[in-house]
Structure 1
Amino acid sequence: MASTILKRAITNHLSSSSSTTSRLILLRAHASEAQAQQVTPKASSTTSLKKFQIYRWNPDTPSKPELKEYEINLKECGPMVLDALIKIKNDIDPSLTFRRSCREGICGSCAMNIDGCNGLACLTKIPSEDSNTTITPLPHMFVIKDLVVDMTNFYNQYKSIEPWLKRKNPPEEKGKEILQSKKDRAKLDGMYECILCACCSTSCPSYWWNPESYLGPAALLHANR
């Protein structure tokens, strides 16, 4: 827009003056516009490749576990680690096995070890670094297949604490609703949020060494509740 106005002004000036200086100014204006038109923006990359190393073990073909490498385009999946796993399973390797359900951090199904830290795959963002992301099962648990671990002992420990309400005194009236006060409700803060994903228990060395006798932080939290 500005260059067009400038050219018109110079052209009008040339109509009233044929000086050499004016002609040079007009030629320079045309040259600058031509150079600007030749400049093209650098094309942005259409791919954003990321490599994942995922623990693989199949009980049907017993062999040593291995870390298998997969590469995906992050622009073709969501931002979370679970999105990457689903992308790999759907488009690359349908034999990849892992648990998932709610995808909102509520059920705890997709608990696994991601780059050395236990967490939920649905809440863990894919690392932006160029280095590979390593995904393994929850540590010190019996592996059923790939990223799926046996939670039997964990749930038996939870069951052993009898995690349900027990009244010390019978209700005054049979069938009467027992209301919870705000004060009593506030006492549960920090305890009711546990979703039994086992991330904390499988991060605990004491639980690793004595899983048959030590209940672990998850079960003890519910016992305290």
Structure 2
Amino acid sequence: MTANDTGPDEEGALLVRVTRTDPDAPSEFRVRTFHPMTVLDVLLAVQREHAPSLGFRFSCRVAMCGTCTLRVDGRSVLACQTVVPEGTERIRLDPAAGFPVVRDLIVDTAPFWEQWARITPYVVPSEEAAAEPARIAPDSPEREAIDPALDCIQCGACFSSCGIAGEPRSFLGPAALNRALVLVQDSRDSATSERMELVKGADGVDRCHYIYGCTGSCPKGLDPARSIRRLRKGGRTHGG
């Protein structure tokens, strides 16, 4: 469909191409820019000025909830965090990859959560830990080993960037494996053997091709590829 114009030669107009599920719906728009302008600002402008039916998700606007993941010119990002560089003339917006599309930029994230659930993404305390709360000191080797893999917000950007994860494949995916490493490192957890059996199985670390798309796309600066390498070497690196 042709662009909804503010004028093709108007200074500051950005051409936005958006994937639409309705083939008859407009998919090209021109919006006036300001700086700094995020991709979420662009989407809201398109929805407000041109296409009220445009489907996309967002919530917190501060890169905490992980709701607004999509692809910008092929890169998996958070719309609320990604600033459109000054001088950009056009951008393409697509739904996150590896997920069934519900409508426009909205995807069904069930494949991500199915893999996340498989690694039992919470501490399974031992009887001793359940009887008396355990403590991991902030300056301990254990905490230092865990820290680099914390702060995942389950946004699915790494999953979208991975050429192996997603339907119909059964690879656990970068986020689940990163979480598995955190729990394997945690001395309070009693499910290490079960997790390591899973991550070293057919759907685990050996499926990773080390493309590093997951690491490059993480909005929190985590390195899932590093976590996968550590799991491949046995997981626990501290003395606990």
- In structure 2, give the amino acid aligned to 1:177: P
State the distance in 1 between where 2:153 and 2:112 align: 13
State the distance in 2 between where 1:68 and 1:90 align: 14
| Structure 1 contact 55–67 (Cα < 8 Å) conserved | no
Which residue of 167, 173, 180 maps to 2:136? 180
Secondary structure of 2:19's partner?
A: strand
| Structure 2 contact 98–159 (Cα < 8 Å) conserved | no
Tell me whether 1:71 sits opposite 2:27 in the alignment.
no
| Structure 1 contact 98–147 (Cα < 8 Å) conserved | yes
Q: TM-score, normalised by structure 2?
A: 0.65
**Bigger-Rg structure (1/2):** 1
Which residue of 142, 150, 155 maps to 1:192? 150
State the distance in 2 between where 1:168 and 1:204 align: 34
- The Cα offsets for residues 176-212 of structure 1, whole Å up to 9 and x where unpaired, read as 433221113322222112111111112111225x644
| Structure 1 contact 141–150 (Cα < 8 Å) conserved | yes
- In structure 2, give the amino acid aligned to 1:121: A
Offset of residue 68 of structure 1: 0.9
Once the two structures are overlaid, the 10-residue window that deviates more, 186-195 or 147-156, is: 186-195
State the distance in 1 between where 2:76 and 2:29 align: 21
- Quote the RMSD (CA, aligned, Å): 2.5
- The Cα offsets for residues 84-106 of structure 1, whole Å up to 9 and x where unpaired, read as 11122123211011010111111
Alignment of 1:55-134 (within 5 A): 55-58=19-22, 64=23, 68-75=27-34, 79-134=37-92
Q: TM-score, normalised by structure 1?
A: 0.69
Offset of residue 166 of structure 1: 1.5
- In structure 2, give the amino acid aligned to 1:123: Q
Offset of residue 65 of structure 1: 8.3
Offset of residue 67 of structure 1: 7.3
State the distance in 1 between where 2:25 and 2:85 align: 22
State the distance in 1 between where 2:68 and 2:29 align: 19
Q: Which runs of 5+ in 1 are unaligned?
A: 1-45, 59-63
Which residue of 172, 188, 195 maps to 1:215? 172
| Structure 1 contact 139–203 (Cα < 8 Å) conserved | yes
Alignment of 1:131-170 (within 5 A): 131-170=89-128
| Structure 1 contact 47–74 (Cα < 8 Å) conserved | no
